[in-house]
Amino acid sequence: MLILLIAYLGGVLTILSPCILPVLPFVFARADRPFRSHGLPMLLGMALAFAAVATLAAVGGGWIVTLNEYGRHGAIALLALFGLSLLFPRVADRLSRPLVALGMRMSEPRGDGGAAPASGFSPLLLGVGTGLLWAPCAGPILGLILTGAALNGASVGTSLLLLAYAAGACTSLAAALLFGGRLLSVMKRSLHTGEWVRRAAGTAVLVGVGAIALGLDTGVLARLSVGTTSALEQALVDRIKPGKPQAEPAALREDAGLVRVSDNRAAPLPARELRVEGRFPSLAGATEWLNSAPLAPEALRGKVVLVDFWTYSCINCLRTLPYLRAWAEKYKDAGLVVIGVHSPEFAFEKKPANVRRAVKDLGIGFPVALDNDFAIWRGFDNQAWPAFYFIDAEGRIRHRQFGENRYDRAEQVIQQLLAEAGQTRIAAGLVAPLGQGTQAAPGAEPALSGETYLGHERAHGLASPGGIARDRAKAYQPAASALRTNQWALAGDWTVEAERAVLNSANGRIAYRFQARDLHLVLGPAANGKPVRFRVLVDGKPPLADHGFDTDAQGHGVIDAQKLYQLVRQAAGGRERLFEIEFLDAGAQAYAFTFG
């Protein structure tokens, strides 16, 4: 009940967000109509459309996101028609033919400027269209609800939370609608005409349609909302999860509710008793197994098991692999089984062929379960990459650890659980592997640049003039002025999709001003698999000694697989630099920057 109330309050606060502004003209355009027959059906349509789209987006995967994008375009066209009918009633009358009758019924004008008889269906349809445009205007609470739906699967509870959120937002809009209706009534009585009010409403609707078509509702306006509704909603989020750890791990980056845990330099935990934290959940949700036949908790009874949640383009996960391989080898004869659970972040990480190639290239010999549906992830109630779960010989979870480092503590737990299982010949000491390339340990100084996504779904920090054109080709121009720290820019002909930017013609560029020792970029070749050549510059020059594992001293490299590429490794510290990459061939796919 408390969570429903918090979801409702989060929806109420939506009206404080600037990204709701383009929706308001559609609401106020009907402020002079009776609330019961016009305002209420419209708000109901908004709530139903919003909850339905959000629910499907949470549990239906990428296809529903694409479907909703088409719905958004349709809603823009329909509401633009609505605005024109308000602004030009004679034109509206001529357009009222079978092909556009549905759109005209939304405004119900007559050729003489009057109103047609009231209908509950037309405001309901207007509300549905408005809801399709309103759905992307989400704050932390909605993000938390959608994350829970994506990880835990479809449920009645999730839909109720979404309806509660939508109901809260409609409550705020209803109050605005009622207030606006009274104001318009006073104006009409004092001026004896509503013609100019209707024309002003039509103009406002068209301005709103233009803002939405240009992406201002989810781009510029969304960024303006920081510190207003987001701060208030975040306080409510904290009420939902009052016990969320803050100090450990040291750094958390929340990506759509899923967390990548970065470098953690906390001191080793003192020796303590390992408590029972739950039973070994099922592994039956794996869609495929690599390096092993399917494993089950029952068959592993008597073994000490280390379960590692990872994904192969995650730099923090890659840097744990030298230790996982070393433990698997050192303690295999003593009864340790290491299992990697590969839970993908990007769509290309769901392809078994890609994971098989990565497992081979990374030298992983222990069993790997492909968890494409996040079934094992949900069974463990996991929330992070990388994450270690230590299971004793009786099938009980005895310890869990998130993020990099604290490897000495992890190995001590392994030794302790093996000793409890009756093993007397346990190799002494602690491993100290030296990873190479992307698997090497992070720099001594913490990176001051954070993970940056290039797809419009989670992009931030773009400095290219005009912002992002969602899902359509655009010739991007370099930033008009020098980039500030953690800003980036595109140049050339790109199509920015939900989770990636795709280069449409050769010689496109990406620039990023960063501060870290290492710069990595998740990249993919052309859609037909053709490799893409690239060249990297650092402060306008070849990187020389600062080149990464996947480039040479002159900055040249080739994209031949969808994976994380290390492009810069500074030889001396992690000072601020300007990174530039030019793709010499068309088709390059760019997903996300990560640093270390």
**The predicted structure's pLDDT at residue 540:** 96
Question: 492, 508 in Cβ contact below 8 A?
Answer: yes
273 pLDDT band, cuts 50/70/90, is confident
Residue 544: both structure tokens together? 């020389």
Q: What was the pLDDT predicted at 433?
A: 93
- Is residue 375 scored above 70 in pLDDT? yes
Checking if the pLDDT of 55 tops 70, the result is no
Cα–Cα distance for residue pair 560/526, rounded to 1 Å: 9
For 15, 43, 172, 181, the CA distances from 176, given in Å and listed in that order, are: 9, 12, 6, 8
pLDDT of residue 225: 36
Single out the residue of 535, 536, 512 nearest to residue 447, CA to CA: 512
Residue 533, classed as helix, strand or coil, is strand
Quote the CA–CA distance of 369 and 279 in Å, as a whole number.
19
What value does the mean pLDDT take over residues 291-296?
Answer: 95
**Domain annotation for the chain: domains and CATH numbers:** 2-231 (no CATH), 261-439 (3.40.30.10), 452-595 (2.60.120.260)
Q: How confident is the model at residue 66, as a pLDDT?
A: 43
**Band of the pLDDT at 325, cuts 50, 70, 90?**
very high
The residue count for the chain: 596
From CA 596, how far away is CA 548, in angstroms rounded? Answer: 12
Read off the pLDDT of each residue in 160-178 and give the average, rounded to a whole number: 74
Tokens coding 163: 């309806």
Mean pLDDT across 365-390: 95
Paired tokens of 183:
């104001």
Could you give the percent of the chain with pLDDT greater than 70? Answer: 60
Q: Which of 150-154, 296-300, 358-362, 443-447 is predicted least confidently?
A: 150-154
Supply the mean pLDDT for the chain. 76
Centroid of chain to Cα 133: 19
pTM of the entire structure?
0.60
Q: Is 541:466 a contact under the CB 8 Å cutoff?
A: no
Give the pLDDT confidence score for residue 229 in this predicted structure.
Answer: 40
Q: What is the pLDDT of residues 409-432, one digit of tens each?
A: 999 999 999 999 999 888 889 999
pLDDT bin (cut points 50, 70, 90) of residue 13 is low
**Averaged pLDDT for residues 171-181:** 69
pLDDT at 32: 59
Cβ count within 10 A of residue 195: 10
pLDDT of 270: 43
- Region 419-447: what's the mean pLDDT? 90
Residue of 270 and 259 predicted with greater confidence: 259
Chain-centroid distance, C-alpha 23:
23
Report the 10 Å Cβ neighbour count for 586. Answer: 17
pLDDT of residue 245: 33
pLDDT of residue 360: 96
What H or E segment, with its residue span, contains residue 349? none
What confidence tier does 249 reach under pLDDT thresholds 50, 70, 90?
A: very low
Question: What are 100-150's pLDDT values in tens digits?
Answer: 444 444 444 444 444 444 455 667 776 776 665 555 554 444 555 554 554
Q: Specify the pLDDT at position 75.
A: 55
Q: pLDDT: is 456 or 119 the higher one?
A: 456
520-564 pLDDT, tens digit per residue, is 999 999 999 999 999 999 999 999 999 999 999 999 999 999 999
User: Best-predicted range by mean pLDDT among 9-13, 172-176, 498-502?
Assistant: 498-502
Categorize the per-residue pLDDT at 68 as very low, low, confident or very high, splitting at 50, 70 and 90. Answer: very low
Task: Give the CA count within 13 Å in the CB-facing half-sphere of 397.
Answer: 17
Rg of the chain on CA atoms, in Å? 28
Over 50: is that where the pLDDT of 255 sits?
no
Q: Answer whether the bond into residue 249 is a cis peptide, omega within 30°.
A: yes
- 498 or 132, higher pLDDT: 498
**Cα angle, residue 219 at apex, residues 213 and 222 outer, rounded to 5°:** 120
Q: What is the pLDDT of residue 259?
A: 53
Average the pLDDT over 381-400 and give the result: 95
pLDDT class of 469 with cuts at 50, 70, 90: very high
pLDDT(362) > 80: yes
